[in-house]
Amino acid sequence: MAEVKTVATEQAPAAIGPYSQAKVVNGFVYASGQIPINPATGNIEGTTIEEQAEQSCKNCGAILEAAGSDFGHVVKTTCYLADINDFAAFNEVYAKYFTSNPARSCVAVKQIPKGALCEVEVLAVVK
């Protein structure tokens, strides 16, 4: 049976529901989607897609670090946008963090929790 480790860090926002920030199973990190909540304030950071994408990516990085991984070990992301017209601007920020070009899905959705403009979910391998 696989060992399952729950990841929790104060450097990323606490879960806003009955889930964990991430799980590590068999050398893979399965992270919950990260919206642009500033973990220090508990509030959405920024009002533009660029500002919010920046915070979402920072939150992903904190969880990856706590799980023993990093952006270079991300193999797949799923990105959710509140407005598909933000696709290009979102990509500008995303590309600064995900330089290894992992596989990705990016879709527009009707709503994201707390009225966020984006959410980023990662699947990575442990370093």
- Dist CA 73 CA 43 (whole Å): 28
The single residue listed with the structure tokens 């304030």 is: 41
* Alpha carbon distance, N-terminus to C-terminus of the chain: 22
Best CA proximity match to 51, nearest among 93, 79, 98, 84: 93
37 near 100, Cβ under 8 Å? no
Catalytic residue among 57, 79, 106, 118: 106
Q: Is 57 a catalytic residue?
A: no
- Provide the annotated active-site residues: 106
